[in-house]
């Protein structure tokens, strides 16, 4: 209630006295917080009196903590690091992945077609479920960057594919639409229930398995595997700004070690000649490029399959010299009226030779 009241006083077109009254009323209606009602009243009234000083102080705070800007600077240079930091102040756009006819859906929903084949919406009033096509399962919400890893497989017709960290299911849906017979694996049964619900709305089917990937052993190995591994989520801070203030370097190191363990095991589940796409939504190379480099350095019969920049018009800048994907929030400039940027993502394509 304090956070909401403070946001109303500092940033929204809500009279200060109304913001205070609403917060106090909310406190009084909750038996657990009733004893704090006077404190809420005092803090928010003071905030109203000192609004200008507080806004001035907030304006001097960098959008990202110094420790993470330093890591970005090491990876991408100072100018890019500062540009990424400033990009956090821009609202994230709403992107949709469509089953078919992106041009038609862009026209119907007042959006534009993206280089990924999805569409980006202009600002609109109302909720996502109110949009045309939601009930019919014609599309789902998925950031442009998040849609890239599954597209790296191409046509999966006649192939067995696995999405090994599958929930909430956007990438699973993409693999199904690419023609694959898909197994969706996730450690959490609750998350799998959400995945099944999402697939039901889209009219899609996949085998679902609740299991720990580190010990998962299928009866038959897969032709294609997508491992969108758990990570620090630092590429999604336009939508989740709290991430960088609740995590630190030790979390990145821990998650990178987990990703490496998962990747090494996932490669054992792949048929010879099969393809694995490793990805995550971290901006830190420790969780992406470094993990793949270590695995390739000592795992036999596995090679990197370079991604061609010419295959991704409009996103050529996101292809690294090694042929991997590295999107940054500063990429994907859009015309006026349409939000720019996309989530920070890493993806690499690996092939098992034997």
Which residues does residue 348 pair with via DSSP β-bridges, in sequence order?
A: 278
Dihedral sign (CA 94, 156, 184, 201): positive
**Rounded-to-integer distance, Cα 204 and Cα 215, Å:** 27
Task: Check if the beta carbon of residue 270 is closer than 8 Å to that of residue 222.
Answer: yes
Catalytic residue among 146, 227, 281, 331: 281
**Rounded-to-integer distance, Cα 187 and Cα 210, Å:** 5
88: cis peptide before it, omega within 30°? Answer: no
DSSP 83-141: HHHHHTTSPPP-EEEESS-HHHHHHHTTEEE-TTS-EEEPP-SS-GGGSTTTTTT-EEE
Task: Check if the beta carbon of residue 161 is closer than 8 Å to that of residue 167.
Answer: no
- Asked about 281 being catalytic, the answer comes back as yes
% helix / strand / coil in the chain, to the nearest 5?
45, 15, 40
Q: Write out the catalytic residue numbers.
A: 281
């Amino acid at each position: 209630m304090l956070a909401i009241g403070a946001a109303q006083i500092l940033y929204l077109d809500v009279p200060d006295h109304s913001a205070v009254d609403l917060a106090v009323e909310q406190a009084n209606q909750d038996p657990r917080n009733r004893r704090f009602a006077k404190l809420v009243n005092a803090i928010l009234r003071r905030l109203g009196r000192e609004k200008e000083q507080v806004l001035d102080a907030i304006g001097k705070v960098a959008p990202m903590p110094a420790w993470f800007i330093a890591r970005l600077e090491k990876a991408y240079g100072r100018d890019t690091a500062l540009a990424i930091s400033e990009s956090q102040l821009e609202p994230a756009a709403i992107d949709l992945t469509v089953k078919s006819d992106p041009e038609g859906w862009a026209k119907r929903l007042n959006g534009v077609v993206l280089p990924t084949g999805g569409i980006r919406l202009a600002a609109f009033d109302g909720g996502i479920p109110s949009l045309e096509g939601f009930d019919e399962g014609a599309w789902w919400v998925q950031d442009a960057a998040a849609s890239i890893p599954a597209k790296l497989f191409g046509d999966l017709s006649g192939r067995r594919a696995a999405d090994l960290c599958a929930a909430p299911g956007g990438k699973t849906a993409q693999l199904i639409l690419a023609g694959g017979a898909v197994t969706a694996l996730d450690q959490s049964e609750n998350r799998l229930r959400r995945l099944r619900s999402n697939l039901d709305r889209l009219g899609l089917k996949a085998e679902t398995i609740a299991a720990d990937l580190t010990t998962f052993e299928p009866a038959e190995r897969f032709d294609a595997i997508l491992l969108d591994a758990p990570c620090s989520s630092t590429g999604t801070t336009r939508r989740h700004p709290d991430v960088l203030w609740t995590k630190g370097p030790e979390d990145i190191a821990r998650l990178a070690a987990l990703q490496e363990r998962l990747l090494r095991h996932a490669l054992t589940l792949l048929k010879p000649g099969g393809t694995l796409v490793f990805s995550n939504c971290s901006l830190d190379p420790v969780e992406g490029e470094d993990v793949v480099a270590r695995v390739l350095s000592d795992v036999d019969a596995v090679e990197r399959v370079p991604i061609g920049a010419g295959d991704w018009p409009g996103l050529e800048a996101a292809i690294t010299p090694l042929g991997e994907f590295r999107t940054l929030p500063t990429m994907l400039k859009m015309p006026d009226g349409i939000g720019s940027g996309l989530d920070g993502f890493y993806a690499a394509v690996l092939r098992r030779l034997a």
